[in-house]
Chain A
Amino acid sequence: QSVLTQPPSVSGAPGQRVSISCTGSSSNIGAPFDVHWYQQLPGTAPKLLIYGNNNRPSGVPDRFSGSKSGTSASLAITGLQAEDEADYYCQSYDRSLRGSVFGGGTKLTVL
């Protein structure tokens, strides 16, 4: 059971928009600690996708965006492409646990 809750899977057709939720608590996202998102392509290490709730590192397409409200955060992907098929993880810091916490991960399938 992960501290941050994500849907196990989402799917969408090429060109469509999908959203992945990340729900936490007043001890982490609502504390408020920043939320970061990572993309893990099959067989590879995770890569930073969104930092500080809604910022993209250099090189990440603007099709990816993040938002945060209260104890939840969301990752949106517009204009879905086949190469977006991957696992996505949210991450924050938890004051009570005194450590970083991850969501359980969401597998994105591009139909």
Chain B
Amino acid sequence: EVQLVESGGGLVQPGGSLRLSCAASGFTFSSYWMTWVRQAPGKGLEWVANIKQDGSEKEYVDSVKGRFTISRDNAKNSLYLQINSLRAEDTAMYYCVRWGDQKSSFGLWGQGTLVTVSS
């Protein structure tokens, strides 16, 4: 089955860190750019970061630059997001997304993992 399964979310204190993981299956993971998109409770979607097929190019939304790091392990069909210096405004559902399907759309989404930043 073609799917993305996220894990690693949880409750963390402000200033803390988390590492989110995404396990891909059912498709050739190494052929796709991959993306993280987040959604704060009751809010809209926000693109967070992209990574190229071989990991050589990465892009981030300004609000997370210097705090978040996207990476991948093609041998393990896995995508990661290291999130440091967490703030309350980082509280959100984080979705792992396959990018570059038809005409560079986000064609496959995981079910999401919830990150809650609170003391």
Within 17-65 of A, Cβ neighbours of B (below 8 Å) are at 34, 36, 38, 44-48, 51-52, 55, 57
Q: Which residue of B lies closest to A56 (CB)?
A: B102
Please tell me if the beta carbons of B103 and A45 are within 8 angstroms of each other in the complex. Answer: no
How long is the Cα–Cα vector from A47 to B112 in the complex, in angstroms? 13
Q: Which residue of B lies closest to A101 (CB)?
A: B47
Please tell me if the beta carbons of A51 and B47 are within 8 angstroms of each other in the complex. Answer: no
Assess A100 versus B47: contact at CB under 8 Å? Given A45-B95, A55-B102, A57-B102. yes
Number of A positions contacting B (CB below 8 A): 25
| Main SS at interface, chain A | strand
Please tell me if the beta carbons of A34 and B104 are within 8 angstroms of each other in the complex. Answer: yes
Contact of A36 among B37, B60, B61, B103 (CB under 8 A): B103
How long is the Cα–Cα vector from A34 to B102 in the complex, in angstroms? 11
Please tell me if the beta carbons of B45 and A105 are within 8 angstroms of each other in the complex. Answer: yes
B35 at interface by CB-CB < 8 Å: yes
Residues in A whose Cβ lies below 8 Å from that of B107: 48, 51, 57
Residues in B whose Cβ lies below 8 Å from that of A89: 44-45
Please tell me if the beta carbons of A91 and B106 are within 8 angstroms of each other in the complex. Answer: yes
How long is the Cα–Cα vector from A44 to B39 in the complex, in angstroms? 12
Please tell me if the beta carbons of A51 and B102 are within 8 angstroms of each other in the complex. Answer: yes
Residues of B within 8 A of A (CB): 35, 37, 44-47, 50, 59-62, 95, 99, 101-107, 109-112
Closest 3 CB pairs of A and B: A52-B103, A51-B105, A100-B47
Residues of A within 8 A of B (CB): 2, 34, 36, 38, 44-48, 51-52, 55, 57, 89, 91, 93, 97-105
With A38-B106, A100-B35 known, 15 other A-B pairs at CB within 8 A are: A2-B44, A34-B103, A36-B103, A45-B109, A46-B37, A46-B109, A48-B101, A48-B105, A51-B101, A52-B102, A99-B47, A99-B61, A100-B47, A100-B106, A103-B44
